[in-house]
């Protein structure tokens, strides 16, 4: 037994020593060599003689000092390199390294008088050199110098700003985020022209080194939430981040819940609205979907268009969304409970009609529901994966054709087709597609409870669902705020949407620091004008 513990202890010590040695290596990056040829050989070996590694060698100054411009083809703007790096170096070469210019002044001369590129900086080790090179920047190396110059020449092709595909509105901006980080930050910066907007950038992923930006307005966002976002992002240790869904799983408060606790959107106006409420946006390079935290239950029923329409119309639409939530969740289970256990609650005329429809159907109600629900889920998934031109036709026409055929074949009743159709349509009304997933999952749980316990099972399920929702938190904020805990002031913008002139304060759950967003004096003046 002692020998076993001794081996385990030795293994732990060896692992710690290996980790310590690796940390020491990473903390002491390799400096650049004095010889430019040695630097180029080192880079070729490290990058494996990649075909997209471009090295343009030339002579610099009257002393014919060897220099090289190095970049990754496809990640840079070659016009920038030609016009602002190579051309000035070649044309101005006679002014470089004159007799009165000391060798240590070379970099000062290049940065101040020769290179006309917008952003430059010095680099002295290979780790930062590779990081800059693989990010689309150009490296200038000079012989007999143990440092180089990094010039910002990023210029890869991107999709540009297009209309969002997942958040359509009738009235509002038609701009959507793209896959480029700086394009997305610019879309937000263009809407928030305030000096307090902060953009903190970091890299996540040991291999991909994906750029991630954290955006918030200093003085409005809660400092505790900002700190918590940084802590959770810094704790991620993974090879690569390819999409915002990676980060969403890492930073969410509770893993084992069907409900999303991180909001995402590809609409800049929606993200800006969240930032102005005191929430924090997280932009990931390579995806148009931007994360927004904290994300509360009520946020998934609100749309950016709610604030562009009249308050009464927005309120009516929000009530319809909540009604559709319960319809999509409970209609199939209520149908099963009434037809299987509580026939006395159905009006006599309707009961006779339902009985006539079910005559000849060989399956109980629960089998009918499961057949139709599973069939519709398959059609919905097929419609998403098919080409856009035929996907919608397959999901809609397929459901109608199969439903009609099932009724004629006597496999299901006509009432069941109506129930499933209403359920499916209700699940499409949510502004956030992310909220439809928990509804689809929980629907089957309620179907099972209704088939076993009837209406009592549905009530039990609603009790457990409410208990679960109240136990959730998003970055320390109760998930059901401001409904539970109840906040009277915040009810002006939850299920109901009051007129803008009455929304004096930001939501208490997110904008705790600077709660005022509309001065009462301005509101008073508006109301006086209305009375006149």
Mean pLDDT of the chain: 84
> Is residue 374 predicted with pLDDT exceeding 70?
yes
Q: What is the pLDDT of residue 464?
A: 96
Flag whether 237 is in a domain: yes
Q: How many angstroms separate the CA atoms of 429 and 275, rounded?
A: 25
Q: What is the pLDDT of residues 499-518, one digit of tens each?
A: 888 888 888 887 667 777 77
Which of 433, 435, 164 has the alpha carbon at shortest distance from 288? 164
Flag whether 167 is in a domain: no
- Number of domains forming the structure of the chain: 4
Q: What is the pLDDT of residues 143-195, one digit of tens each?
A: 888 899 999 988 877 777 888 888 888 888 889 999 889 899 999 999 999 99
Flag whether 397 is in a domain: yes
* Mean pLDDT of the region 14-43: 69
Tokens of 9: 């202890």
What pTM did the predictor assign?
A: 0.84
Cα angle 391-392-394, degrees, rounded to a multiple of 5 = 65
Both 363 and 216 in one domain: the answer is no
Q: What is the pLDDT of residue 384?
A: 77
Q: How many angstroms separate the CA atoms of 140 and 148, rounded?
A: 6
Among 267, 295, 323, where does a domain finish? 295
Parallel/antiparallel/unpaired status of strands 210-217 and 197-204:
antiparallel
Q: How many angstroms separate the CA atoms of 532 and 527, rounded?
A: 9
Both 375 and 422 in one domain: the answer is yes
Asked whether 54 and 23 are in contact (CB, 8 A), the reply is no
% of the chain exceeding 70 in pLDDT: 87
Among 252, 271, 295, where does a domain finish? 295
> Is residue 273 predicted with pLDDT exceeding 70?
yes
Asked whether 287 and 183 are in contact (CB, 8 A), the reply is no
Q: What is the pLDDT of residue 269?
A: 92
209 is in which domain, residue-wise? 181-295
Distances in Å between the Cα of 251 and the Cα atoms of 193, 199, 404 are 29, 19, 45
Q: What is the pLDDT of residue 5?
A: 43
Q: What is the pLDDT of residues 83-109, one digit of tens each?
A: 888 888 877 655 555 544 445 567 777
Flag whether 235 is in a domain: yes
Both 454 and 333 in one domain: the answer is yes
Flag whether 157 is in a domain: no
Among 260, 295, 330, where does a domain finish? 295
Q: What is the pLDDT of residue 88?
A: 85
Cα diameter, the chain: 108
Both 331 and 434 in one domain: the answer is yes
Distances in Å between the Cα of 363 and the Cα atoms of 360, 366, 412 are 9, 8, 8
Flag whether 191 is in a domain: yes
Flag whether 342 is in a domain: yes
Q: What is the pLDDT of residues 420-430, one digit of tens each?
A: 889 988 988 88
Flag whether 85 is in a domain: yes
Residue of 518 and 308 predicted with greater confidence:
308
Q: What is the pLDDT of residues 449-489, one digit of tens each?
A: 999 999 999 999 999 999 999 999 999 899 999 988 888 88
- φ/ψ (deg, to 5) at 312: -70, -40
% of the chain exceeding 90 in pLDDT: 43
Burial (Cβ within 10 Å: 0-12, 13-18, ≥19) of residue 283: buried
Q: Is the dihedral of CA 443, 445, 450, 456 positive or negative?
A: negative
């Amino acid at each position: 037994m002692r020998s076993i513990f001794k081996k385990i202890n030795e293994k732990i010590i060896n692992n710690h020593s290996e980790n310590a040695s690796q940390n020491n290596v990473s903390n002491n990056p390799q400096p650049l060599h004095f010889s430019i040829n040695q630097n180029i050989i080192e880079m070729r070996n490290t990058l494996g003689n990649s075909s997209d590694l471009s090295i343009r060698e030339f002579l610099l100054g009257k002393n014919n000092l060897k220099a090289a411009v190095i970049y990754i083809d496809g990640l840079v703007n070659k016009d920038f390199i030609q016009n602002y790096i190579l051309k000035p170096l070649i044309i101005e070469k006679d002014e470089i390294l004159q007799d009165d210019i000391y060798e240590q002044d070379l970099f000062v001369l290049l940065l101040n008088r020769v290179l006309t590129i917008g952003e430059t900086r010095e680099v002295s080790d290979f780790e930062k050199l590779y990081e800059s090179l693989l990010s689309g920047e150009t490296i200038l190396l000079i012989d007999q110098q143990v440092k180089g110059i990094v010039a910002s020449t990023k210029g890869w092709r991107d999709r540009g700003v297009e209309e969002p595909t997942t958040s359509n509105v009738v009235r509002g901006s038609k701009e959507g985020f793209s896959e480029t980080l700086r394009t997305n930050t610019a879309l937000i910066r263009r809407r928030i022209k305030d000096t307090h907007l902060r953009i903190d950038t970091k890299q996540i992923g040991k291999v991909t080194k994906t750029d991630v930006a954290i955006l918030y307005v200093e003085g409005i966002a809660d400092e505790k939430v900002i700190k918590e976002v940084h802590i959770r992002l810094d704790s991620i240790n993974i090879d690569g981040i390819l999409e915002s869904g990676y980060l969403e799983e890492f930073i969410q408060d509770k893993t084992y819940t069907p409900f999303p606790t991180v909001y995402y959107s590809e609409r800049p106006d929606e993200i800006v609205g969240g930032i102005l409420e005191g929430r924090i946006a997280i932009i990931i390079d390579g995806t148009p979907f931007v994360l927004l935290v904290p994300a509360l239950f009520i946020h998934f029923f609100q749309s950016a268009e709610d604030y562009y329409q009249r308050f009464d119309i927005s309120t009516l639409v929000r009530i319809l969304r909540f009604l559709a939530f319960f319809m999509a969740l409970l209609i199939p289970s209520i149908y099963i409970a009434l037809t299987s256990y509580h026939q006395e609650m159905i009006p006599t005329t309707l009961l006779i009609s339902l009985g006539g429809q079910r005559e000849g159907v060989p399956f109980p109600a629960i089998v009918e529901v499961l057949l139709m629900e599973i069939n519709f889920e398959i059609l919905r998934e097929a419609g998403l994966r098919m080409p856009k031109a035929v996907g919608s036709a397959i999901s809609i026409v397929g459901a109608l054709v199969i439903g009609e055929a099932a009724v004629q074949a006597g496999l299901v009743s006509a009432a069941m087709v109506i129930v499933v159709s209403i359920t499916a349509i209700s699940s499409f009304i949510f502004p956030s597609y992310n909220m439809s997933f928990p509804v689809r999952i929980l629907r089957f749980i309620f179907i099972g409870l209704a088939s076993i316990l009837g209406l009592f099972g549905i009530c039990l399920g609603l009790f457990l669902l409410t208990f679960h929702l109240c136990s959730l938190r998003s970055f320390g904020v109760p998930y059901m705020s401001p409904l539970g805990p109840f906040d009277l002031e915040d009810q002006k913008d939850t299920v109901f949407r009051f007129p803008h002139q009455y929304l004096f304060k930001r939501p208490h759950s997110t904008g705790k620091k600077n709660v005022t967003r509309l001065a009462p004096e301005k509101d008073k003046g508006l109301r006086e004008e209305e009375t006149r």
